[in-house]
A and B are shown apart, each in its own frame.
Chain A
Amino acid sequence: MSSSAPASVRTRLSLQGRGLAEAAVERARLTVVPRRRTRAPKVPFVTLVSLLLLAGVVGLLLFNTSMQQASFTTTALEEQATNLAAREQALENELDELRDPQRLAEVAQKKFNMVPAAAPVFLHLGTGKTEGEGGAPGAPLDLAPDRPERPGVLDPAPIITTVESTTTTTNGAGNGRGNGRGNGRGDGEGAGATGRTDQQQSQRQQRQR
């Protein structure tokens, strides 16, 4: 390495150093502004934030509670609505059954002695004239339903026993008990049981006689 090159660098640096020094002097005239200390009270701020936080939490809690409450009410009201809908359906069905043409016809024929008309007669309101012959009223309709045939087990033949006057009281009591027990049971077995009980009883009665 030659020594001339560093010498020139140094000269340039010294020139720059002078410039910097001048600037430093210029800057040295500025003074630092004394730090201003404002002692804002911390307590209100913290209180405010805490209160907001607290209010938020409590509000949320209350809101949640009220929503829960509403949910309880919803459940209760929904149950009530379901019950009322079921009731409405039951009433509608009752109404439908009351409107059953068969029932109406039975009431009309039996209670009010009505019969089906033969043919209509038309009255023209403008002229006051009638049209049609009408004819004699028809006979009452046969309304008796078809009786479904039940199997013998469900429909046992009635057992008729004639009871002599001397033994009336004891036998009567026995019969009463037997029927009561039999009917208390179900359709199938119960009816069968009734038959059997009665039969046994009638046998017993005959033996007594």
Chain B
Amino acid sequence: MRSGFVLIAIVLSFFAARLVQLQGLDPEQYAEMAAAEGSVTVLLPAERGDILDRNGEPLADSADGLMVVADPTMTAAKAPEVAKFLAGRLGVDYFRTLERLRVEDSRFQYIARQVPARIANEVLSDARELAADATEDAEQAKQDGDEEARDEFEAVADAYGGLATRRDPVRFYPARDVAANLVGFLGTPNPDGSAKPSAGFEATFNTHLAGTDGEARYQVGAGNKLPLGDNTVVGAVDGQDLTTTIDRDLQWFTQRVLRQTVRQAGGDSGVAVVMDSRTGDVLALADDPTYDASRPLDYDKDDYKSRAMTDVYEPGSVQKVLTLSALIDAGKVTARTKLRVPGSLDRQDRSIGDWFDHGLIRLTLAGVLAKSSNIGTVLAADKFEDGQLRDYLTRFGLGQRTNIGVGGETAGLLPDPSMWTSQTQDRIAFGQSVSVNAVQMAAAVNTIANGGVRVDPSLILGSAVTEDGDEVGTDVATTRRVVSAEAARQTALMMERVIDPEIAIAPGAAVPGYRVAGKTGTAQRAGLGGYDGTFTVSFAGFAPADDPRFTIYVVVQNPRNGGGGGSVAGPAFSKLMGYALRRYAVPPTGTPASRLPVEW
């Protein structure tokens, strides 16, 4: 009796010790082992947000995709058969696939990547059927006692069984090169299927777009979820869509017109900006040369960036718009101020000339702008007080990034007050010794269009946070008054005379039926060691001149056909403006055109 109790006590103490071991010493490991038994963890992929234009048309679109992978230890024996099957179904190269199926010391080889899910699933289920058929044949052969045939069939079954799929999302750029320099692209995804943004918004707003993957863990039996088994789901948080201010059709048209312009002028590159004058929304921002975002590797890497944001150049005579409007605002001159403009003007370090030969001419301020006289502009700018021009230009946004959400933006170059001499001021007044990026300059000219109030340009509709933590978009765009409404109105009237066929500076920029205000620019390009004899030609303007809706800025670098701002960029401006006015159904204002005198 007593010995019986002792026996039970001994047995129970063993149990107790085991209990302590299980629960006390390492409970988690055992819990995990228990959970892993028959349980499956499935990644719930978050869908990457789309990049949309202002009307919801997709510029970048995501779809489920799969990669087809192989385990060479299983496929090597029957590689030719499997390679033939894959080459036929997936359109992959037979020889390359064959090599991959035979790689030694590897258990993982890519066969095809970013295959649309439907196709990959079909191929894989066919492969499984083939494997099942081969297994059946092997059974049959075993019954028949044919060992050799059985081995053969088993090898085939193994080889097809060595194929698998993994997640590999596909990114589509349905409009190909439309806004490609802004949107950017995703490179080949990382092996785990996560996205690898390579340029543009895809990189700048990666966190915003990416979302967070979820996870589901459940118990399975024979490939089916056990209804009463453990089941935990952490849902995926899809990425947010990014809505841009770009109008896809207008962007496309802008890119084509720009490309045609650059080609015809034999230029190196070009930029075109179309802005909504009132809101600052950038409706189109075209770069040329550009690239096809769905086949980026076929193109030069230098073409991935947005030249409109990353390249600086001297704006040339377009700058006169800013200088003269600032002068009017400061109360120093009016559009009718009379100036005597000599043929050349000797200043401390050099003499300043005009693009056209003339003796002493008598121009009004409107005439100075309409005929684009450097000398007239310098004479007028002499009326500025110290530091006044620089203050105005800073308020126009020169020398500061626009921060519209494009990576690698340049701030441009506005000389520091310590470097600001009267010679510098002379040159800056007509657009030398100052560098800008295209969006900066478009926003500055748009200030005149918007009645003297500068509105921050935007590329993002609403708001979004960049990888650097800056919040950008129309919601956070600010406005500030730079010049008075009256100064802006007078400047617009002066700019209208530039288009006037009588003055014949840029008649090609006219839009039939509308009042158009604009300004040409032809600036020397600075290379290594000074000006290199090539030019930047440009045209900036807005329409309708008395109630502006759009501001358009076209820049062509290094045209080789000898054209200037009026003949190269002017016709492109006209096409773009005509299209924009038609597309947004802006009727002509029907008011009489500006008749400001240009001479006296």
Q: Count residues of chain A with CB under 8 A from any CB of chain B.
A: 50
Q: Are A85 and B64 neighbours in the complex by a CB distance under 8 Å? A: yes
- Digitize B574-597: 1 where CB-to-A-CB distance is under 8 Å, 0 elsewhere: 010011011001011010000000
State A132–B543 Cα separation when bound (angstroms): 14
Q: Is B176 an interface residue (CB 8 A)?
A: yes
Indicate the member of A120, A148, A187 with the most B CB atoms within 10 Å. A120
Residues of chain B lying within 8 A (CB to CB) of residue A120: 513, 578, 581-582, 585
Given contacts A101-B252, A119-B514, contact A86 B117 (CB under 8 A): yes
Given contacts A133-B512, A133-B513, contact A142 B263 (CB under 8 A): yes
Q: Are B512 and A135 neighbours in the complex by a CB distance under 8 Å? A: yes
State A87–B64 Cα separation when bound (angstroms): 10
Residues of chain B lying within 8 A (CB to CB) of residue A87: 118
Q: Which of B100-122 contact A (CB under 8 A)?
A: 116-118, 121
- Which of B150-158, B253-261, B382-390, B501-509 interfaces with chain A? B253-261
Q: Are B64 and A86 neighbours in the complex by a CB distance under 8 Å? A: yes
Mind listing 26 A-B residue pairs with CB under 8 Å?
Answer: A67-B228, A71-B226, A72-B224, A74-B224, A90-B118, A92-B61, A93-B63, A96-B174, A101-B248, A116-B253, A117-B578, A119-B513, A122-B587, A131-B587, A131-B590, A132-B587, A132-B588, A133-B512, A138-B575, A141-B253, A141-B256, A142-B256, A142-B259, A148-B295, A186-B95, A189-B95
State A82–B512 Cα separation when bound (angstroms): 55
Q: Which of B117, B227, B579, B587 contacts A116 (CB 8 A)?
A: B579
- Digitize B225-262: 1 where CB-to-A-CB distance is under 8 Å, 0 elsewhere: 11110000000000000000000110011001101100
Total residue contacts A-B, CB cutoff 8 A? 139
B181 CB to closest chain A CB (Å) equals 13
Q: Are A75 and B223 neighbours in the complex by a CB distance under 8 Å? A: yes
Q: Is A102 an interface residue (CB 8 A)?
A: yes
- Digitize A132-169: 1 where CB-to-B-CB distance is under 8 Å, 0 elsewhere: 11110010011101101110000000000000000000
Q: Are A100 and B176 neighbours in the complex by a CB distance under 8 Å? A: yes
Closest to B289 in A: A146
Q: Are A68 and B175 neighbours in the complex by a CB distance under 8 Å? A: no
Q: Is A70 an interface residue (CB 8 A)?
A: yes
A51 CB to closest chain B CB (Å) equals 26
Given contacts A75-B224, A119-B513, contact A146 B259 (CB under 8 A): yes
Given contacts A75-B224, A99-B174, A119-B581, 5 further A-B contacts (CB under 8 A): A101-B248, A120-B581, A135-B513, A142-B259, A185-B95
Given contacts A83-B121, A187-B93, contact A101 B249 (CB under 8 A): yes
Q: Are B587 and A118 neighbours in the complex by a CB distance under 8 Å? A: no
Given contacts A101-B175, A146-B289, A184-B94, contact A141 B260 (CB under 8 A): yes
